[in-house]
Amino acid sequence: MKAYNFEYGVVASRPDQMYGWPGICKVKGQEILVAASERKYHICPFGREVVIRSFDGGRTWELPQEVYNSELDDRDSNLAILPDGTIVLTWFTSIAWEYYIHPEWKPRVERVTQRMREELLGTWLLRSFDGGHTWETTPHRVPTGAHAGPTVLSNGSLIYLGEIKTGDECEMASFISTDKGISWRKAGIVPFPKNIELNENHVMEVSPGRLIALFREETEGHLYQSNSEDYGVTWSPVVRLPVWGYPPYLLLLQSGVLLCLYGHRREPWSIRAVLSYDYGRTWDVDNIITIYGWRDKPDMGYPVAVELEPGQILTVFYCSRQDIRYEQRIKGLTPDKGLTPEGLLYARFMLK
């Protein structure tokens, strides 16, 4: 397959603002919902969860709608839609900004108590029962997860992969929910060597019960893969793929082709895709597709995607230079506005 008929545009952008780590789902027809963390910087206390809607397959977008905003940093956003139309939004909270304090953050730091940290830190889930127009007001705690959200399986359950602590060590575990994300049970463990660090992942069901999971590896930057044949109860040992980039996002097309999107965060900075024609058993690494590219080196990536019509793909990703400009300002330099738009960006293209 080849990619052609590229269209590019902006989902959301504001001066001196960052939109990071999006999630996406197709509500119905050409109606698309995107979630993101709206904030000032890559690490800061101002992150909040917002959703943005398009009714024309991603060509035009409404203004962001706030869904959740805690006293901590609400970051990364993921969307999944269940067979009955329930939309699940997940994210996690962070206090990493306390170690990167900008002078203007001092009032925020002073009002965050230890009780707030204990009550608000974690991974969270909210549901919408009307297509993402309104949301539950009280979030549900999820036992694991960071960047990637849960995947809807053919049996109606949700599966979530994430790190959990076992004593002094961490393991990668799968969790299953059969009640739309309210409760979770530990289902299995992904075996991997202790000398590699796996984190951001995505799971896709390629046939009933058969799951493919791809992971970001922190040290060298290659993608790793594990498979399950029993809805995520048992997993194969991870293997390294000949694909450099992160994190992965999987999409099973109506044609049966498995698409993996990822950010290539080294020269040349770009959004890329690799295809599998046999449900993840092999990957066509000789024909990697470049979807979008940069001439400079911005904070960018984390693509997500939906298939609008057979072979027509909408992918959303982010680009920011906020931290770069901040460093330039405090050094008395003239901020560089960069070479491309900033914010949440999109690309529409055909695969055939």
- Dihedral angle sign, alpha carbons of residues 331, 73, 221, 283: negative
pLDDT at residue 331 is higher than 80: no
CATH number at residue 217: 2.120.10.10
- What whole-number percentage of the chain has pLDDT above 90? 82
pLDDT at residue 335 is higher than 70: no
Task: State which residues form the domain around 226.
Answer: 3-351
**Mean per-residue pLDDT over the chain, rounded:** 93
> Are the CB atoms for 49 and 89 separated by under 8 Å?
yes
What is the pTM (predicted TM-score) of this model? 0.95
For residue 309, with 0-12 CB atoms within 10 Å meaning exposed, 13-18 middle and 19 or more buried, which class applies? exposed
pLDDT tens-digit series, residues 159-198:
999 988 777 778 999 999 999 999 999 999 999 888 898 9
Q: How many domains in the chain?
A: 1
Average pLDDT over residues 79-95: 96
- Write down the pLDDT at residue 227: 98
- Cα separation of 312 and 19, whole Å? 25
- Cα separation of 319 and 81, whole Å? 26
Phi, psi for 132 (deg, rounded to 5): 90, 10
pLDDT at residue 22 is higher than 90: yes
Three-state SS for 345? strand
| CA 300 to each of CA 123, 169, 278, 317, 341: distance values in angstroms, whole numbers, following the listed order | 23, 31, 30, 7, 11
